[in-house]
Structure 1
């Protein structure tokens, strides 16, 4: 009997891509989502309901019979680490013997990006369980700069002249599949990045070329960044995550360029320009 891979967040950007790739390879899998009615109908996949990370009992039932788990990190929340640890403990209780977790580049107890601290605490819990795991420390998605661009064509934030090695979602998914299907990577913490580190000003120039309109990067101070986002009336932890994603760039913490994509998939990761060319829908809202 072939091993069963449980994929969380199977309707999302990463989980959905992973599920399709695994299906194409004939891997038997279990698909989980907060919205089970939206789960794809894929060959070799069983759709499972009840995948809220806060519901340990439902998770244990959903994970039962699975051998390997892709734990896609939860949405940002004040209780995110608790959600992750609940899911991890439920998976182990259900008999899952390997876990692949989507972490974040530079995760650390005191890293600048506040959400990266959540990932570090999750990694520490994984280590403490003794279960074989792989932590995929994905960098900022290549789809982020278009999403960060305002209606006026400006990317605003306190990133300074720092650079970021953005990575395409397709490359992240391909790495995840490699980790899920090959135990040789167990015990590793892998940085998953694009092939180059560029500044947001450089990203704006690339966006200008593909959209045909002027896109600019406007550097803010940290205080200005908090003030300019106050109108969203978002929780304090969420605003801190938004702002520190930029200050982490300024601090040089997201400029690492790794060879993980090439080593695990045998192909070169997409540059930011290549990603935009392949995914025009990510910047369609910027084209006038």
Structure 2
């Protein structure tokens, strides 16, 4: 089986002494065609793209991303259209890793085998199912391994060290550390506990990169996370807010924010 595109991306970043900037946008926001254009634009400035499949009950997401999902669903966005956007990104020359972030109900409704097969055939490299406990992941993990799709797991501030070990043993791609309790969204200040969590998690992640998300929206947040030792950061709501404000004209604003955040991943 070929080397995972995600693994290769982190290897190349390490060679350049950089950390990963992973950008999240909601698929289909403000509409499917504009979403493809904006993601293609953003892909030129970031290291990985996390693509949120719209869902009617996004329990892990704060108001900014919930509103984006509502806009996307109102514009006719479907799970099938999510695969079409991924396919369009690859057809348009986007080569960075693509990760679907979704809820398990979407995977089950589509069919587990069919969903993962479609990920593989449309160029999606990783799958993060935010409400799937590791104890219930065996069936999905087996299908993902068969199709060469990395199954990515979250760890939270409340995750015990014993449970971290179990999650790491089943995870692919990278480990996603949720930096705070609660839902996604921009924060003015990064919680000190988030930096302590990075140190704790790094004792258990082994060869898997550790990335940190939730509440990260500024360059100084990125710099602090990188100094703490994480291999990457995920920024979502700050990008989604720009789409909310500028719609299909958001490309230049997305680029500007991405370039500023990316500087924070390069260290001193």
Which TM-score applies when normalising by structure 2? 0.33
Query: 1 or 2 for the larger relative contact order (CA 8 Å, sep ≥6)?
Result: 2
Which TM-score applies when normalising by structure 1? 0.32
